[in-house]
Amino acid sequence: MVLFDEDPVSLITETTNQFHIAPDKEALSRISESIGTLHTTRNAKLNQQRSILKNLSRRLNNLKSEYAYEEERHDAGKHASEMLRMDTEKFRVAKGVSDAEIEGERLGSELAGLKAQLEQLEKEGTEGGRRAVGDAEDEVILKLQFYRSLGIDASQDDTTGEYNRAVIHNTARGDVNVVNVDGKMNRSFYANMFWDSL
């Protein structure tokens, strides 16, 4: 078991006090508002495409109803070509409407996910939803669980049994940083390095 100069509970309390989720909540709120605006814009575009499709359908029906009358006065090949063009345009608009609906559903799902994430952050509060689980909890395991929740995996030296390497995963930037904790620097240096990597 690794020995620490300071009380683990104090270390964890001090660490959790450094959390500031207000900017994250504000960022999520801004993202949610942006997605809502985009969703509204998509719906407006979808309604416009539907209106165009309705007008084209009405125009196509009118052309079909007049076909018998126009058949004798107009070239059949030319009229067929016009009908084909109208059908092609109708298909293109219908595809645009379908794509807009799919995009709207995707944005709706993304918005729901962001709202759920925001609600979870609000429920967890400044302690990240983690509470002390009792004095019987092994302090090393508790710290490892805490670091892992931040995206930090600690590696144990096979020879000494001490944790001397930290692998920091930053999913937002999509990168991984490896920090060797060899004790040559003070704790503030390593803490700043961890926060910068996160």
Res. 90 pLDDT band, cuts 50 70 90: very high
Do 58 and 151 share a domain, yes or no? no
Residue 131, pLDDT score: 47
More confident residue, 37 or 21: 37
pLDDT above 90 coverage of the chain, percent: 23
What's the sign of the alpha-carbon dihedral 81, 82, 84, 88? positive
**Measured distance CA(159)–CA(162) in Å, rounded:** 8
Bridge partners (DSSP) of residue 153 are 167
E strand or H helix at 51: helix 22-65
Do 15 and 72 share a domain, yes or no? no
**Measured distance CA(165)–CA(142) in Å, rounded:** 17
Determine contact, residues 107/38, Cβ cutoff 8 Å.
yes
Determine contact, residues 141/153, Cβ cutoff 8 Å.
no
Total number of domains constituting the chain: 2
Domain boundary among 104, 126, 148: 126
Q: Nearest CA to 8 among 145, 124, 178?
A: 145
Residue 1 lies in a domain: no
Domain ranges, residue 140: 8-19+135-197
**pLDDT at residue 138 above 50?**
yes
Over residues 178-188, mean pLDDT: 74
Residue 134, pLDDT score: 47
Report the Cα–Cα distance between both ends of the chain, in Å, rounded: 27
Q: Nearest CA to 148 among 121, 122, 168?
A: 168
Structure tokens belonging to residue 22: 């207000």
**Measured distance CA(47)–CA(96) in Å, rounded:** 11
Query: What is the rounded average pLDDT for all residues in the chain?
Result: 79
Res. 133 pLDDT band, cuts 50 70 90: very low
Residue 44, pLDDT score: 93
Helix (H, G, I), strand (E, B) or coil at 177: strand
Over residues 77-91, mean pLDDT: 86
Output the domain CATH number for residue 190.
Answer: 3.30.160.430
Averaging pLDDT over each range in 100-109, 122-131, 135-144, 177-186, which range is the top one? 100-109
Res. 125 pLDDT band, cuts 50 70 90: low
Determine contact, residues 179/165, Cβ cutoff 8 Å.
yes
More confident residue, 104 or 170: 104
